[in-house]
Amino acid sequence: MLKYKKKSQILVLLILIIICGINTNFFRNLAEVVLYRYDDRIINKYGFCSGESIGYLLYLKKKYEIKNNPKIVNYIHTPQVNWAIINTKMFNTNQKKFILLNYPGPEYKIKLIMVNNNIFEPKDIEFFHDKFDKIESIEILNNSKNSKKINWKLNVISVDKSGNEKIVKVFNIENSLDESLKIKLDVLNENLNLDKKKLYFKIKNNNTSKIEGLQINLIMRNKYILEEFQIIDKIENCYYIQ
């Protein structure tokens, strides 16, 4: 009887351990640890030249024996990635080398999101604030098949932490919109102080046609134009430049 009790107890514990193993993906993890090297698993987790692109950073560090903390610019919004190759002995070194991850090209688009009836905010602008030179133009896309008449007064506004507004630029847009319309803005980043201020676009619609059906994008000119740098290494959209 006692032996039977002991055996059943061991069986219960075994079942619980198996449940624990299943719950934590023990068997899959064990297979990964046994079959793949640590570096391969890191690349698998963080991507080589996608997402955080830690694989590319580790590859560069190994290939070029990087020890001087080059500036890393990732165009995909992820947590900071410099931890992967940082050299703690060389904080604050003034580097002329850059690593560009997920580089989108000399121009890229940022969607404007409606905050209020007529107020729009560029999506993720805090993240992009140090990655563009100027807001080159505004792009309006018409989702409906009918062409529309646009008659807008567009105010580019910056707002500081205390809520004080400042009109950076005013544009009067009067045009007809078929599928898409691009209007030049040329708002320089240096005039916006986006590390301390928020950026809004206020549209006063002087027309009867509604703004809601439209998709509005900002076209930004990239701060890093590859032609201006020497490319040391390139894999897909990831670059090591100086």
Partner 1 sequence: MIEFLQILLTFILFSLIITVPVNIFNSKIFISKKYFSLDVASFNLILNCNILLLISFLPLSLGLFNFFFIFIYSAIFIYIYLIKNFRFNLIKNFIQSISIFLIIFLIISTNVAGELNLGWDAKYFYYIKALFFIENQSFGGLNKFASDNFHPHLGSYFWAFFWNLMPLKLEYFGRLFFVFLFCFSIFYICHNNLKDKFFENTVFILLILIMYMYDRFSGLQEILIFSFLIIMSKYFYLLKNSNNTYYVFFIILSCNLIIWLKSEGIFYSAILVLLLNFSTQISKKIKIYSNLFYISIVVFKLIIYQYFDFTWGQITINQTDFSYANVYPWHLDYIFNLNSAIIFHKLKFIIPFLFYYSIINVCFVVGFIILLALNFQKKIDNYTKIVNYYFVTNIIFIICVYLFADREIENLVRTTMERIIFTLSGFYVFLIISFIKRLNKDFLK
Q: Which residues bind partner 1 (CB under 8 A)?
A: 9, 12-13, 16-17, 19-21, 23-26, 28-30, 32-34, 38, 41-42, 45-46, 69, 71-72, 79-83, 86-89, 91-95, 127, 130, 195
3-state secondary structure at position 137 = strand
Please report how close the Cβ of residue 97 comes to partner 1 at its closest, in angstroms.
11
Which amino acid makes up residue 121?
E
Would you say 79 or 146 has its CB closer to partner 1?
Answer: 79
Q: What are phi and psi of 43, to 5 degrees?
A: -60, -40
Question: What is the rounded distance in angstroms from the CA atom of residue 58 to the CA atom of residue 79?
Answer: 17
Please report how close the Cβ of residue 69 comes to partner 1 at its closest, in angstroms.
6
Q: Both tokens of residue 3?
A: 């032996």
Listed residue (208, 214, 55) closest to 141, CA to CA: 214
Please report how close the Cβ of residue 241 comes to partner 1 at its closest, in angstroms.
15
Q: Which residues is 221 bridged to in the sheet?
A: 107, 134
Would you say 20 or 231 has its CB closer to partner 1?
Answer: 20
Please report how close the Cβ of residue 73 comes to partner 1 at its closest, in angstroms.
9
Please report how close the Cβ of residue 204 comes to partner 1 at its closest, in angstroms.
29
Question: What is the rounded distance in angstroms from the CA atom of residue 99 to the CA atom of residue 86?
Answer: 13
Would you say 63 or 96 has its CB closer to partner 1?
Answer: 96
Question: What is the rounded distance in angstroms from the CA atom of residue 194 to the CA atom of residue 212?
Answer: 27
Would you say 69 or 189 has its CB closer to partner 1?
Answer: 69
Quickly list H helices, the chain: 2-23, 26-35, 38-46, 54-64, 125-128
Would you say 152 or 224 has its CB closer to partner 1?
Answer: 224
